[in-house]
Amino acid sequence: MNEKVYIPPIKIQGIKTKLVPLIKDNVLLEKDTIWVEPFMGSGVVGFNIQPNKAIFADTNPHIINFYNSIKENHIDSYMVRNFLEIEGKKLEKKDDEYYYEVRERFNAYHSSLDFLFLNRCCFNGMIRFNKEYKFNVPYGHKPQRFSKAYITKIVNQVKYVEQMIHTSDWEFICQDFEDTIMSVSFQKAFIYCDPPYIGRYVDYYDSWDLKSEERLKELLAKNDNPFMLSTWDYNQYRKNEYIDTLWGFCRKINKEHFYFIGANETNRNQMMEALLVNYPLNMAQNYYSTINEQLKLCIN
C-alpha cells in the first residue's frame, strides 16, 4: 500500500521524502517520547511522524525562523496565499530581474515569506549560503512558477504544518547538533539524525567533515536514548567506509534512492541509502504498530 507522505513548504537538497515510510516503520517511539531532530532541514521526517512532543533544530536560522513565525502566528496560510499571489505576478512580469530583487531584499531583511518565495522559485529548490551569510542560489527560470494551482499546493503544505504546530508541543531551535543532543541526555527521547553527507554539500550552514561525524558518533553513543542515523551506503563508485568503522556498532537498513542535485545527468547518481540504529529492529516494529494507532492524523 502506498502511504501518503506530507510534503513540507520549504525544500532542501537531501530531503528524505522517499525514505519517510521506511523511517516510520523502523523508529522506536512511545507516546511520551520526545522526537528529536538535530538536523531538521525541510522537517519532512518529523512532520510525518507526527510526535506529540518534538525538538526540531538546525544551524540554518532561516528554516527555524520560518517555523517559529508560524508558531507565533506572524505568518499563516492566508498570508502565504496573498503574498505569493502578489509576488508571483511581479515575477511573471519582471522575470529574473524580480527574482534577484527579492533575493537582495531577503539578504537585507531575512523575511520568512521572502525565504519561502525564493525557495520555491530558485534553481532546483536548493538552500545555499555564501561566507557572508547571503543566500546565493540562482533563479530557476520559471516566470510563471506561481500559478494558481502551485500556490494552492504551497498553501496546503503550510496549512498542514500550521495545524500540527498549533496542536502539538513542538519547539524549533537554531543551534548546533551537539547542544540539541546534549539537551535531551536525561529525557526519554528518540533522536533522528540526518547530517550533511561528508564532502557532498558545502555551504555556510551546511558543512561537514570527519571531525563532525566523529563528534556525532561520540555524542550518540554516550546518550542512553535510541537513535537513527540517515547516511549513504554506496553508489556505483564508492562505499561509505564509516559504516563499518565509526558506526560498526549499529544495525543497518538499506534503501535505494535517487538524488537530483545537479544540472547535468552525471551528477544524478543512484545512491544506496542506509539507516543505522542502535536497537534491535524487531523492537521498532512492535512499538510502531501501537504508536501508529495513536498518531493517526488525517492528511488532506
Compute CA 251 distance to the chain's CA centroid, rounded to the nearest angstrom.
23
Rounded to whole angstroms, the Cα distance separating 41 from 64 reads 9
Q: Which of 105, 10, 122, 14 is nearest to 66 (CA)?
A: 10
Q: Does 16 bind ligand SAM (CB under 6 A)?
A: yes
Q: Which of 37, 29, 41 is nearest to 56 (CA)?
A: 37
Residue closer to ligand SAM (CB basis): 19 or 155? 19
Sheet holding 270-277, edge to edge: 169-174, 53-58, 34-37, 189-193, 227-235, 270-277, 251-258
Residue closer to ligand SAM (CB basis): 91 or 271? 271
Q: Does 9 bind ligand SAM (CB under 6 A)?
A: no
Residue closer to ligand SAM (CB basis): 95 or 171? 171
Q: Which of 275, 251, 279, 284 is nearest to 27 (CA)?
A: 284
Q: Does 194 bind ligand SAM (CB under 6 A)?
A: yes
Stretch that binds ligand SAM, among 13-21, 129-137, 218-226, 281-289 (CB under 6 A): 13-21
Rounded to whole angstroms, the Cα distance separating 161 from 152 reads 14
Rounded to whole angstroms, the Cα distance separating 231 from 248 reads 13
Q: Does 196 bind ligand SAM (CB under 6 A)?
A: yes
Shortest gap between Cβ of 237 and ligand SAM (angstroms)?
20
9, 14, 51, 88: residue in contact with ligand SAM (rule CB under 6 A): 14
Q: Taking CB under 6 A as the criterion, which residues in 247-266 touch ligand SAM?
A: none
Shortest gap between Cβ of 5 and ligand SAM (angstroms)?
11
Shortest gap between Cβ of 78 and ligand SAM (angstroms)?
25
Beta-carbon contacts of 96 under 8 Å, excluding residues fewer than 6 positions away, are 139, 141
Q: Which of 137, 134, 104 is nearest to 123 (CA)?
A: 137
25, 81, 176, 261: residue in contact with ligand SAM (rule CB under 6 A): 176
Residue closer to ligand SAM (CB basis): 81 or 200? 200
Shortest gap between Cβ of 206 and ligand SAM (angstroms)?
4
Q: Taking CB under 6 A as the criterion, which residues in 27-66 touch ligand SAM?
A: 38-39, 41-42, 44-45, 58-60
Q: Which of 59, 292, 49, 12 is nearest to 168 (CA)?
A: 49
Q: Which residues bind ligand SAM (CB under 6 A)?
A: 12, 14-16, 38-39, 41-42, 44-45, 58-60, 176-177, 194-196, 205-206
